[in-house]
Amino acid sequence: MTALTLSTSSAATLRADAVVIGVAKGPKGLVVAPGADAVDQAFDGKLAAVVETLGASGGEGEVTKLPAPAGLKAPVVLAVGLGDLPAEGDGFEEEALRRAAGVAARALAGSKKAAFALPVEDAESAAAIGEGAVLGAYAFTTYRGAKDDKAAKSAPLAEAAILGGKPRDKAFKAAVERAAAVAGEVNRARDLVNIPSNDLNPKTFAAQAQAAGKEFGLKVEVLDEKALAKGAFGGLLGVGQGSANPPRLVRIAYTHPKAAKTLALVGKGITYDSGGISLKPAGHNETMKCDMAGAAAVFGAVVAVAKLGLEVNVTGWLALAENMPSGNATRPGDVLKMYSGRTVEVLNTDAEGRLVLADALTRASEENPDAIVDVATLTGAMVLALGDRTFGVMANDDAFRTALYEIAEEVGEQAWPMPLPAELRKTMDSPVADMANMGVRNGGGLIAGLFLQEFVGDGITWAHLDIAGPAFHESAPYGYTPKGGTGSSVRTLVRLAERTAAGDLG
């Protein structure tokens, strides 16, 4: 992972492979952002004109590389676009800095060290730059066999030195350390999502949680197929019974002796989703290794909370299964008896995520946490509603839903509050069971949320994040977002834990 350092050195004197500066769209053309004064001086005050001559406008995400003039220790200057220049008296938003740093870090793949001379007004802006650099530098290289010059040139940036920071200032140091911890766990979630399903199945995923438990002092319990059968976890068993890789339910818990609140995080972990007997068509199954992104986010968030030592108890529940068709698979029309004791008629075996989550939500509710948040790549309907970059937020408490939406926006994750219309619940009525796992087609994402709500314990505040859109990015990278697994919602969950520890929620 990219190392983060704070430096008081000038951009002109720090030895690095490149110095990163910001440029923005001003009312009369491109302007150089604060932080790059020493670089501009080396260009005799003509840096903006040079960069503009090379075709840059200062637009968000633009990258312009140019050779450094005499007077700079770094041989390359990389100008990255920050977007529109803020109004007079305002600074650049943290998300703009985060995205710019991510673009620059990715452009500097293969470099050992880069100096980031972007606008630093306070500890939070330094942290945003650091977080963006670590996230933008990310590369998944586990399955690349070649160890040649090409591989070296695509290796992640080794070190990002943030200029304008204060290494001895406690606030700056803590902010950058937090950025490194959180971004590292986002990258852990990304790795898990990117691992192919022939290597990541419920058993091996559980083993990763056990290894992290030993490393970070977390209590990890794993229920295998025998324990799940003994406990009557019908949802998990019903989804997993068609696969040669049996399901698991993992409990991974962080506790703090001074904690006053407890959060439960529940993640959907379908390590491969073929759709089961309701088989997905070609064109819809090639990326289904990503259907465990919710469990990956929960896992990463719990570890991040442990790294930060937050005064809150956080328990993660990873509902792990593989949804495959076989002679043993659950069929459309079958009835499952869930862990809660309720029965569910399975009308569509490709609506399996809600079945494993239902068991995990019931089990999490037994511990009576102050709040439960589940995270899942749950419905294509949510992607149709909100697009590829925004996750939906549903809850049984309007204030909690609003808080989660605001937290997501605060940390730079696009989200949108969604309703749970009561009139849709009756469309899941079944003539043979307590309910069905499907309702009417329209509003499918909301129906999935209503289904999950049925399995949350009475009086427990609950929210559901449907990350089906942003969990796996299939197009070209942008900002600090790579192609493939994105680690969606990890930062939101960590900030929720921080706010809970501070007493800001409930």
Residues recognised as catalytic? 280, 354
- Give the largest Cα separation in the chain, rounded: 80
d(CA 486, CA 481) in angstroms, rounded, equals 6
Q: Which amino acid is at 285?
A: N
Torsion of CA 320, 322, 327, 328, to 10 degrees: 0
Q: Is 345 within 8 Å of 238 (Cβ atoms)?
A: no
Q: Is 227 helix (H, G, I), strand (E, B) or coil?
A: helix
Q: Is 288 within 8 Å of 321 (Cβ atoms)?
A: no
CA angle 224–349–401, rounded 5-degree value: 80
Residues counted in the chain:
506
Torsion of CA 188, 194, 197, 201, to 10 degrees: 10
d(CA 329, CA 338) in angstroms, rounded, equals 16
Which residues, at least 6 apart from 87, have a Cβ–Cβ distance to it below 8 Å? none
For 275, other C-beta atoms within 10 Å of its C-beta total 19
Q: Return the CA Rg of the chain.
A: 24
Query: Helix 202-216 vs helix 293-308: angle between axes, to the nearest 10 degrees?
Result: 10
